[in-house]
């Protein structure tokens, strides 16, 4: 049970619903609660389906099917996050506006690149290795459900508070956004270095 809880917590930390809220802030502002919930739930289903595949198959998805190393995915994912972090530093939450593409593809663009990334896919693989396919998938499902629940709750709080304290909300978003940019940048460098370390270790040791 402790191992199950730790695995769920690891996945939840990597999903990071508080960072996701910043990524979704413009949608939180323009969509009503019902529409936002539907888009978010579809994104959650897409993400969960991908996570379950990695929970079941592990890194064989890369080595057997894609003929690539997981380290390559870590490096590329780190570069993507680094670019997002740099844009976030200079543009604030507007950095995310151009990343999602057409409105009809909102669910998929929410899932990628924030929900489905090197960190969460690594955690999905770990969940399968630690707990097996069934329990690992359940741990992943719980983390996704909790994350979506937190985001929906924060949407409700935002809709309630903003008409009364719009200036306070804007200052909070600006401060948290800049701090989040530092976290994103740091995490991206760590992913790149970890991928390089794994790659070099496989080739030279």
Tell me if 107 sits within 8 A of 42, measured CB to CB.
yes
Domain ranges of the chain: 2-199
- Summarised one tens digit per residue, pLDDT across range 138-168 is 999 999 999 999 999 988 887 777 767 666 7
pTM beyond cutoff 0.85? no
**What confidence tens digit (pLDDT) does each residue in 5-63 have?**
888 888 888 788 877 887 777 778 777 888 888 888 888 999 999 999 989 888 777 77
Residues contacting residue 69 through CB under 8 Å, at least 6 positions apart: 62, 63, 198, 199, 202
């Amino acid at each position: 049970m402790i191992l199950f809880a730790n695995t769920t917590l690891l996945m939840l930390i990597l999903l990071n619903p508080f960072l996701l809220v910043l990524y979704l802030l413009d949608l939180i502002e323009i969509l009503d609660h019902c529409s936002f919930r539907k888009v978010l739930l579809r994104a959650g289903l897409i993400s969960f389906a991908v996570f379950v595949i990695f929970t079941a198959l592990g890194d064989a998805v890369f080595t057997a099917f894609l003929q690539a190393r997981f380290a390559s995915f870590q490096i590329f994912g780190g570069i993507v996050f680094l670019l997002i972090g740099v844009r976030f530093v200079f543009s604030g939450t507007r950095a995310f506006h151009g990343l999602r593409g057409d409105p009809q593809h909102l669910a998929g663009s929410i899932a990628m690149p924030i929900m489905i990334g090197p960190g969460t896919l690594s955690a999905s693989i770990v969940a399968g290795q630690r707990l097996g396919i069934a329990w690992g998938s359940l741990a992943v499902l719980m983390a996704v459900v909790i994350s979506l629940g937190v985001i929906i709750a924060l949407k409700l709080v935002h809709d309630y508070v903003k008409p009364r304290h719009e200036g306070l909300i804007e200052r909070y978003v600006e401060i948290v956004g800049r701090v989040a940019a530092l976290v994103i940048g740091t995490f991206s460098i760590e992913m790149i270095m970890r991928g390089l370390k794994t790659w070099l270790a496989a080739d030279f040791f």
